[in-house]
Amino acid sequence: KQRVLTGITTTGTPHLGNYVGAIRPAIAASQNPELQSFYFLADYHALIKCDDAARIEQSRREIAATWLALGLDTEKAVFYRQSDIPEIPELCWLLSCMAAKGLMNRAHAYKAAVAANEDAGEDPDYGVTMGLYGYPVLMAADILMFNANTVPVGKDQIQHVEMARDIAGRFNHHYGEHFVLPQAQVDDKVAVLQGLDGRKMSKSYNNTIPLFLPEKKLKKHINKIKTNLLEPGEPKDPDTSTVFQIWEAFATDEQTQAMRAKFAEGIAWGEAKRELFELVNNQLGDAREAYEDLMARPADIEDILQQGATRAREYSQPLIAKLRSAVGLKAMI
Ligand code: TYM
């Protein structure tokens, strides 16, 4: 079976961008009997940008509850927490010794940190940890540990999946064909969902619409989406509008056509936002109830994660044993 794998970093509350970019396509893939899926909470990754233990704990619970509330079938998909799989950091080390430093120099997250330092007149590496620098290697270990063929992600993660390919190719070249070369899977329609301010929706920009806000708050957030000053009756450009972009990510093609026509006719922003609220709320309403219920049952979530870890290790333990042997670390007798 082809394998699908993706993860979410446990640093914040899941938002609409995570949903359309990763969770929704991943859950769809998990329902395809021809695929085997692996979905996980990337909590080692969380340590790269967050030193608030309570925040990470809370986020792990929220993200786990989100997957489950959205109907992930954990009998089919292998659903686990990264930090429950000790073979992952071990593989990360094996891969680190194969990953070129020059490749890491080109990683977006690292380059962004250096650029921000330079803008601020600081030393370029100010505050840059080895965790941040080696982030793409840890992500490669996540993917290669389960020999995933496809990785559903938003556009911002494509580079990391390509780096995983690169590192896998290099390892295979030296030690034999141990890894399949993974491929990112990106839905063009929603490659980068915009946030309230029109920039990429991101925990780091504080411009997100969390997935399971209570109804009233969801309405409030949607009302805060930045729009231009065009009055009702003036035609509006759907292609530069965040309201329209989010609409498109949730609507059927037919509904999108209809909204496009309404923009041309000059729908009022208030009205467009009201319709968007209804669209999103209808799609997420039932899952929201399930989410609230699960959040009150952390022991049940923990149980599910432990079962997932057991299943995940049925894959990771034999592979790491094979890799240890391939690189010269097997037992002497
Ligand atoms: P993270 O936690 O930042 O985001 C989780 C997923 O959500 C997608 N995403 C978006 N998609 C569309 N529009 C947006 N505005 C938006 N914001 C976020 C991301 O592209 C991602 O798919 N390093 C990863 C987590 C990770 C991982 C992995 C992913 C760790 N190991 C192995 C895949 C495979 C990250 O920080 O994603």
May I ask the CATH class of domain 212-292?
A: mainly alpha
The CATH number given to 2-193+297-327 is: 3.40.50.620
Average pLDDT over residues 315-322: 98
Position 191 pLDDT exceeds 80: no
Position 150 pLDDT exceeds 80: yes
What is the biggest distance separating any 2 CA atoms in the chain, rounded to whole angstroms? 81
The C-alpha atoms of residue 224 and residue 198 are separated, in whole angstroms, by 11
For 192, counting Cβ atoms within 10 Å of its Cβ (0-12 exposed, 13-18 middle, 19+ buried), the class is: middle
DSSP 188-250: GGGSS-B-TTSSB--GGGT---BTT--HHHHHHHHHTS----PPTTS---GGG-HHHHHHHHH
Q: Is the beta carbon of 242 within 6 A of some atom in ligand 1?
A: no
pLDDT band at 138 (very low <50, low <70, confident <90, very high): very high
Position 31 pLDDT exceeds 90: yes
Does residue 171 contact residue 179 with C-beta atoms inside 8 Å?
A: yes
Show the tokens assigned to 329.
């670390």
Query: What are residue 2's DSSP bridge partners?
Result: 35
| Region(s) of the chain under CATH 3.40.50.620 | 2-193+297-327
pLDDT of res. 229: 86
CA 36 to chain centre: 18
Q: Is the beta carbon of 14 within 6 A of some atom in ligand 1?
A: no
For 88, counting Cβ atoms within 10 Å of its Cβ (0-12 exposed, 13-18 middle, 19+ buried), the class is: buried
pLDDT of res. 74: 97
Burial annotation 238-253 (CB, 10 A radius, 16+ → b, else e): beebbbbbbbbbbbee
| Region(s) of the chain under CATH 1.10.240.10 | 212-292
The C-alpha atoms of residue 32 and residue 99 are separated, in whole angstroms, by 34
ipTM of this model?
A: 0.98
**Given the CA of residue 148, which atom of ligand 1 is nearest to it?**
34
pLDDT band at 188 (very low <50, low <70, confident <90, very high): confident
Write the pLDDT tens digit of every residue in 85-136.
Answer: 999 999 999 999 999 999 999 999 999 999 999 999 999 999 999 999 999 9
242 is in an annotated binding site: no
The C-alpha atoms of residue 96 and residue 90 are separated, in whole angstroms, by 10
pLDDT band at 254 (very low <50, low <70, confident <90, very high): very high
18 is in an annotated binding site: yes
Position 161 pLDDT exceeds 80: yes
pLDDT band at 203 (very low <50, low <70, confident <90, very high): confident
Residue 195 Cα to ligand 1 midpoint, Å, equals 15
pLDDT of res. 283: 96
pLDDT of res. 204: 84
Position 267 pLDDT exceeds 80: yes
* Torsion 312-318-319-325 (CA) sign: positive
pLDDT band at 278 (very low <50, low <70, confident <90, very high): very high
Q: Is the beta carbon of 166 within 6 A of some atom in ligand 1?
A: no
pLDDT of res. 207: 96
The C-alpha atoms of residue 242 and residue 302 are separated, in whole angstroms, by 37
Position 293 pLDDT exceeds 90: yes
Strands (E), the chain: 2-9, 35-42, 78-81, 150-152, 183-185
Q: Is the beta carbon of 157 within 6 A of some atom in ligand 1?
A: yes
pLDDT of res. 272: 97
What average pLDDT does the chain have? 96
Q: Is the beta carbon of 59 within 6 A of some atom in ligand 1?
A: no
76 is in an annotated binding site: no
pLDDT of res. 187: 81
Average pLDDT over residues 156-170: 97
Strands (E), 112-207: 150-152, 183-185
Write the pLDDT tens digit of every residue in 37-90.
Answer: 999 999 999 999 999 999 999 999 999 999 999 999 999 999 999 999 999 999
